[in-house]
């Protein structure tokens, strides 16, 4: 008994020391601190191990530093826009963009997100169509292909993609592939053997020092970008895996949203890729070259876009702040699709205020979890929206992974950021903010088509949930600040 008492006393003292270290060294926000304290005291010692894996603050420990924050290729355009904003002389070509100049100014000033107004955008909601077009663009590449995905799997789609890239590399096209080590866990270097033999280059973001285990579970690069010849860019929710083609029975049809962009906005996507690539490599960094940022020969389109990025290396949560600003300007409607809905207080309050102001707020989430704790936490936040008058739909035609918000059928955002703390604070994300009524209307129409394949989730249905679900939801809600 004495040994047990001593051991318990040691664990208690150790846990208190861990808590002190966490609170006074990290100085994180209060909800997150309380969540971690619960983990520490309900799961002694092991809780601290989980904290080391999931909870460390990147900025405090300087796990890495951006050596070059310079936005290659768009410095002059950025400097011009910043000066025009300062003088209030920016000449908007789009009336829709002009009406939302405060949102645009915020993203230019705080995120270096230049506004481009000469873009043509294709919207893809089906993986087969998206990858069919991507393979066509790859086949037509003449100078370079830059490809970055959070998840890249060794399945049929992944093999087909690498084979296509290998073919182009053998033809002399410069091919660079960047993938996240944790998102693509299990992917061996040998998967790219033939691509490397053809002079293609492959880098890994935030790799593990251990072969099979990556202990750095936070601060992942969740971006999905492709740039071809500096003229065509892709951004959105699709990763590379057979499930994104609807071939995984556990998910069924995969509903996502991805954009194919042509125009000057591609320069901003290219600049983002170069920053991420140069961070991942020391020997094969990319320097500025005119061929990476070709000027459009003719006017491609007239859609206004900003490519907005966020991550734990930034002082501001730019994408989340963009969402809040969009919602605050709504006069009629806000439509949201997201696989996870764990908003912080500021975003949840913005949506509640919109509901209480008579704005039509509609939210669509999946009918099944791919991350259980996140799913049950989502339900608890959904209930708060229902109480405020929002409509919530459960997508029943497979799995919905789209990250999209449309306001008043005027402006929209599509990209990689989910509505949760992980996307807003812990992951590196990228979204296209769109100031184009035609595109916003198309996205809104896609949302309404999805409503036809969904069921409305009501307060009555929520209150009828089982005791087991209530328990899971309560625990998940407590942990939501660290999910």
pLDDT of residue 61: 42
| Residue 475 burial (CB count, 10 A) | 15
User: CA 212, 218, 219, 225 torsion: positive or negative?
Assistant: positive
Residues 418 and 385 in one domain: yes
In a domain, 313, yes or no: no
Yes or no: say if 242 and 127 are a contact pair by the CB < 8 Å rule: no
- Catalytic residue chosen out of the listed positions 137, 256, 408, 450: 408
467 is catalytic: no
pTM for this model (two decimals)? 0.87
- Provide block-wise average pLDDT over 10 residues at a time, the chain (483 residues): 68 65 56 63 62 51 47 84 88 94 94 95 98 98 98 97 98 98 91 98 86 68 98 98 96 97 97 94 91 85 96 89 98 97 94 98 89 76 94 96 98 97 91 98 98 96 83 68 53
229 annotated active-site: yes
CA distance 65 to 63: 7
Q: Is residue 207 part of a domain?
A: yes
| In a shared domain, residues 125 and 20 | no
Residues 368 and 473 in one domain: yes
Are 282 and 329 in the same domain? Answer: no
Is 70 inside a domain boundary? no
On whether both 268 and 336 belong to a single domain, the answer is no
pLDDT of residue 58: 44
The per-residue pLDDT for 82 is 87
> Is 371 an active-site residue?
no
Q: How far apart are CA 300 and CA 302, in angstroms?
A: 7
Domains: count for the chain:
3
| Other CB atoms within 10 Å distance of the CB of residue 196 | 16
**Of 32, 55, 78, which residue is a domain's last?**
55
Residues 206, 335 within the same domain: no
Identified catalytic residue from 71, 325, 401, 472: 401
From the candidates 168, 222, 425, 472, which is the catalytic residue? 222
User: Residues 475, 329: one domain?
Assistant: yes
Give the integer Cα–Cα distance in Å for 241 and 280. Answer: 23
Active-site choice (71, 100, 224, 352): 224
Q: Is residue 88 situated within a structural domain? A: no
CATH number of 378's domain: 3.30.870.10
Query: Three-class SS of residue 435?
Result: strand
State whether 253 and 331 are in the same domain. no
Residues 468 and 340 in one domain: yes
**Does a structural domain hold residue 414?**
yes
- Please give the residue range of the domain that contains residue 182: 120-298
Residue 175 has phi, psi (to 5 degrees) of -115, 125
The domain boundary, picked from 298, 328, 355, lies at: 298
Tell me, yes or no, if 391 is annotated catalytic: no
Where is 305: in which H helix or E strand?
A: strand 303-310
Other Cβ atoms within 10 Å of 419 Cβ, number:
27
CB 382 within 8 A of CB 365: yes
Catalytic-labelled residue, pool 174, 403, 425, 472: 403
Among the candidates 18, 36, 55, a domain finishes at: 55
Residues 137 and 229 in one domain: yes
Would you state the pLDDT for residue 72? 74
Active-site annotation holder among 229, 256, 344, 450: 229
Q: Got the DSSP string for 169-199?
A: HHTT-EEEEEEETTTTTT--GGGGHHHHHTT
Q: Catalytic residue at 352?
A: no
> 411 and 323 in contact (C-beta within 8 Å)?
no
- Told to judge if 401 belongs to the known catalytic residues of this protein, a careful annotator would answer yes
Bridge partners (DSSP) listed for residue 147:
177, 226
Residue 59: its pLDDT value, please?
Answer: 44
Same domain, 257 and 373: no
Task: Assess whether 323 and 472 both reside in one domain.
Answer: yes
């Amino acid at each position: 008994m004495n040994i047990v008492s001593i051991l318990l006393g040691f664990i208690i003292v150790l846990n208190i020391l861990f808590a002190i270290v966490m609170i006074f060294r990290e100085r994180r926000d209060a909800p997150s601190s309380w969540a971690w304290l619960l983990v520490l005291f309900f799961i002694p010692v092991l809780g601290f191990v989980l904290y080391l894996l999931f909870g460390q603050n990147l900025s405090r420990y300087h796990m890495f530093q951006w050596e070059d924050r310079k936005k290659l290729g768009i410095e002059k355009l950025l400097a011009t826009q910043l000066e025009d904003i300062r003088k209030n002389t920016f000449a908007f070509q789009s009336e829709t963009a002009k009406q939302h100049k405060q949102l645009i100014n915020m993203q230019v000033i705080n995120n270096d997100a230049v506004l481009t107004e000469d873009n043509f955008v294709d919207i893809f909601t089906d993986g087969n169509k998206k990858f069919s077009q991507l393979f066509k663009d790859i086949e037509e590449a003449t100078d370079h292909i830059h490809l970055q995905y959070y998840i890249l799997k060794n399945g049929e789609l992944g093999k087909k993609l690498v084979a296509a890239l290998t073919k182009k590399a053998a033809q002399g096209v410069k091919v660079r592939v960047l993938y996240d080590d944790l998102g693509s866990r299990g992917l061996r270097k040998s998967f790219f053997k033939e691509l490397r033999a053809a002079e293609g280059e492959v880098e890994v973001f935030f790799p593990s020092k251990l072969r099979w285990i990556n202990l750095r579970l936070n601060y992942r690069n969740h971006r999905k970008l492709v740039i071809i010849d500096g003229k065509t860019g892709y951004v959105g929710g699709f990763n590379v895996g057979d499930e994104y083609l609807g071939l995984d029975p556990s998910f069924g049809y995969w509903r996502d949203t991805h954009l194919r962009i042509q125009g000057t906005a591609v320069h901003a996507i290219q600049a983002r890729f170069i920053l991420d690539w140069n961070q991942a490599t020391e020997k094969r960094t990319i320097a500025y070259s005119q061929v990476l940022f070709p000027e459009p020969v003719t006017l491609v389109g007239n859609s206004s876009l900003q490519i907005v990025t966020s991550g734990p290396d930034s002082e501001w949560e730019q994408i989340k702040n963009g969402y809040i600003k969009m919602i605050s300007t709504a006069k009629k409607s806000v439509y949201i699709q997201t696989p996870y809905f764990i908003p912080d207080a500021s975003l949840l309050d913005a949506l509640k205020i919109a509901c209480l102001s008579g704005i039509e707020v509609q939210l669509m989430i999946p009918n099944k979890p791919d991350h259980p704790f996140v799913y049950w936490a989502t339900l608890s936040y959904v209930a708060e929206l229902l109480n405020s008058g929002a409509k919530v739909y459960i997508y029943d035609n497979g799995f919905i992974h789209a990250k999209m918000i449309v306001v008043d059928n005027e402006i929209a955002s599509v990209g990689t950021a989910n509505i949760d703390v992980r996307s807003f604070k812990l992951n590196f994300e990228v979204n296209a903010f769109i100031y184009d009524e035609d595109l916003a209307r198309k996205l809104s129409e896609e949302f309404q088509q999805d409503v036809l394949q969904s069921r409305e989730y009501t307060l009555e249905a929520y209150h009828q949930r089982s005791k087991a679900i209530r328990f899971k939801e309560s625990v998940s809600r407590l942990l939501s600040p660290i999910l």
